Amino acid sequence: MIARTPAGAHSTRFQRRPIVLVTHSYYEEDPRVRRQAEAILGSGRPVDVIALRRPGDGPDGEVAGVHVRRLDVQRHQGAGLGTYLAEYLAFFVRVGLTLVRAYSRRRYALVQVATLPDWLVFAAMPLRLVGVPVLLDLHESMPDFFRSRFPRAAHPAVHRLLRIAERASIAAASHSLTVNDALRDRLVGLGVAADRVTVVRNTPSLARFDPDAQAPRPFMADGMLRLVYAGALTPTYELDVAVRAVAAITARRPDLRVHLDLYGRGDSRPLLETLAEELGVADRLTFHGRIPIEDVPAAIARADIGLAPTRRDPFTDSSLSTKILEYAAMRRAAVATRLPLVEDTFPAGTIATYAPGEADDLASRILDLVDDPVARDQAIMAAATLVTTMSWDRDATAYLALLDRFARDH
């Protein structure tokens, strides 16, 4: 059951109607939706979340005070297109039914739907028809994501159809959010009115990514160069390049002990394990699997350099890896793929970048950080200063103001 507002509650928290967030993800593993839900709750407004259900989880739960309704649908990462569509449709139907049933009790002030897919917003249309505002939070460009993830099915006609669906989804919502200026500019360029889209950046919480809360580790304190990656193990991220870079470092500097810790799951893992075996560096990699969001800061703190390798294509040209900001917040040097938004966001002297797909270049940038401690420390401090201007602690204020602008409390 979706949480009920306690009878007779008179605190500020319950003077305003609740907001419900819908996400086709596991809530516990979705940093952006978790930050949003916790910010809403912290503002004194009740919040519900409707999400996927992991095996072993109950249908209802509470995470840091947020009520989560988990629908009986699981992710099939790395599956074929037909499986993805079946998963999307199953979740769509269940979301629509859940919202209608819950509204009679909760009288939501607003519904926010996170993508992907864009058309999940239509599951909230029954509430929209009775006057409940609906916000669409566009995490990514679905047409570009589809072309990147399913290249064999990416026919131009399919791309046009997905663009039509994207425009229809935006038109159906009261307002839309997106994560950066590049995605907003793309939508405006496609004909979406500029005043219909607001940027709410995908930035880390400095309260969570607090280096002072972790045990300090001087650079290569144990004589080992520890590299870290915390994120999905999918083709979007060129982790094969990272594995090849480890092999290149090993060949160039036989006396340099190097190890790469990978935290996350995804369909690329078997290929990465095979590649590491072929290159003779399997003993220099550890696949830790998915870890709770709360444990990510400690994993970064145990490392020396954070990696953010991303395969470049039209989809990633309008993306910025939050991992880079997390590394900066934790006072760790970072090396990222040289993408347009990365270069626009991080000035020279803050992070190191390498040419997309070039393992030797990635290896060189890592070794530069090893060999020049003065430049490394200066970059760490410059990136840490920058991230204070790009944190959720700041962006949450604008996000909550936007919700209050659209929420129907009367």
* Residue range 374-396, pLDDT digits in tens: 999 999 999 999 999 988 988 99
Exposure of 88 by Cβ count < 10 A (0-12 exposed, 13-18 middle, 19+ buried)?
middle
Model confidence at 80, pLDDT cuts 50, 70, 90, reads: low
Q: Is the pLDDT of residue 177 over 80?
A: yes
Residue 80 burial (10 A CB sphere; 0-12, 13-18, 19+): exposed
Q: What pLDDT digit, counting tens, does each position of 313-348 carry?
A: 887 888 888 999 999 999 999 999 999 999 999 999
pLDDT score, position 383: 96
Mean pLDDT of 50-63: 91
Share of the chain above pLDDT 90, in %: 69
Q: What is the pTM of this model?
A: 0.86
Domains, the chain, ordered by start: 12-203+392-406 (3.40.50.2000), 211-387 (3.40.50.2000)
Do 87 and 57 touch, CB atoms closer than 8 A? no
154 or 216, greater pLDDT: 216
Model confidence at 7: pLDDT above 50: no
pLDDT attached to residue 397: 93
Mean pLDDT of 63-89: 80
Tallying the residues shown for the chain, one arrives at 410
